[in-house]
Amino acid sequence: MNTQEKEKPETDEKEKKPKGPPKSIFREYLESFTVTLIMAIFGMTFILQAVTVPTGSMQNTILVGDYLLVNKFIFNPGGNPLPFLPMRDIERGDIIVFKYPGNEVNPRSDASRGLVKYQINYVKRVIGLPGETVEFRNNQVFINGRPLAEHRIIGDLPEGDLNGQSALETSEFEDREPDDKWSVYYSSRTMSAVRNGFTLKLDHWNFGVEGKPMTVPPNSFFVMGDSRDQSDDSRGWGFVPRELVIGRAMFVYWSCDRGASNGGLLGCLTHPRLNRIGKFVK
C-alpha cells in the first residue's frame, strides 16, 4: 500500500506536465533546413570544397568543364598527424588545389592576364617535394638527376578548337612501364622535335628547366599540369608554399561540354557529360 501511494503522486505529476503546442509544418521544415545549412557550411569550410576547371592545363586527366569536390581534410597541416585522424603528408603525384602564389619573377605577366595572387584556385599535380632538385628538359622531368616515372602520350587539340575546350586527341608512342602511375600529354609538334634530336627552347620559363635546375624549398612543392604544353605551372612562376594548399581533388561531381554550351551556365546544364560524373581524379 505504501509503495503504491508513493508512486501515484509521481505519475500524477508526469500527467500534469504541460505539453507545448505541436510544431507547424513550416517550423519543422525551417529547423531541418537550418540544421542542413549549418552542416553544409561546416563541411564546405573544414572538409570539402567544390571547384571548377576553366582551363586545359590538366587535360586529359581533368577536362575543361569538370566540377570537382576537394578533400580539405586529407593533408596533415604540419608535424605528426593524430593517429585517429585519416591524414597524411602531401605526396608526389597528388593532384592538389591551391591558391595561385603569383609570379614574382614577371608580375607583368599576371597583370596582362588579369591574375591576382591568392585570389584564384589552381589545380596541378605535385611533381617535386621539399629538398628535391627538379629539372625539365626535352619533354621529360628529372628529379635529383633521374627521369621521373610517368607515362608520356602525344595529345593534340582537335582541329578547329582554338580555345582548348575539348579533350585531347591522343596517340601512344612509348610503352607504359610498371612504375608509371599517371599519364602526361605533349603536343605532336614538341614531341616530334625532341624525338628528332632538336633541343626545345625554354626561355619563357624561369624555374626547373634546362640550365635552371631548382631545389624545392622547405614546406613547398613543385607542381605541373598533365597537359605539359598548355600548363601555366611551377616552371613559370615557381613553388607552391604549403599554406596555400587547399586540399586534394577527389572526384568529378558534374561535368559539361563548355564548347557546346558556349560557356554559359544554362548551356552547362543542357550539355552534361554524364560519363564524367563520379569519375575519381588520379
Domains and CATH numbers, the chain: 46-79+88-276 (2.10.109.10)
- The partner residues of 155 in beta bridges, in order of sequence, read 170
Cell numbers linked to 282: 588520379
Q: CA neighbours within 13 Å on the CB side: how many for 74? A: 17
149: number of Cβ within 10 Å: 15
Residue 101 is predicted with a pLDDT of 96
Q: Which pTM was predicted?
A: 0.81
> Cα(4)–Cα(11) distance, rounded to whole angstroms?
10
> Cα(93)–Cα(127) distance, rounded to whole angstroms?
6
52: number of Cβ within 10 Å: 16
At 221-266, the pLDDT tens digits run 999 999 999 999 999 999 999 999 999 999 999 998 876 656 555 6
Residue 204 is predicted with a pLDDT of 83
Let me know the angle formed at the C-alpha of 125 by 121 and 128, rounded to the nearest 5 degrees: 115
In whole angstroms, how far apart are CA 83 and each of 48, 73, 131, 222? 21, 14, 26, 28
Residue 256 is predicted with a pLDDT of 87
Q: What is the mean pLDDT of each run of 10 residues along the chain (282 residues)?
A: 49 53 61 52 55 88 93 75 72 96 92 92 97 96 97 92 82 95 96 91 89 95 96 96 94 83 65 91 92
Residue 145 is predicted with a pLDDT of 96
Residue 196 is predicted with a pLDDT of 92
- The partner residues of 171 in beta bridges, in order of sequence, read 154
Of residues 108, 67, 47, the one with CA closest to residue 253: 67
Residue 25 is predicted with a pLDDT of 66
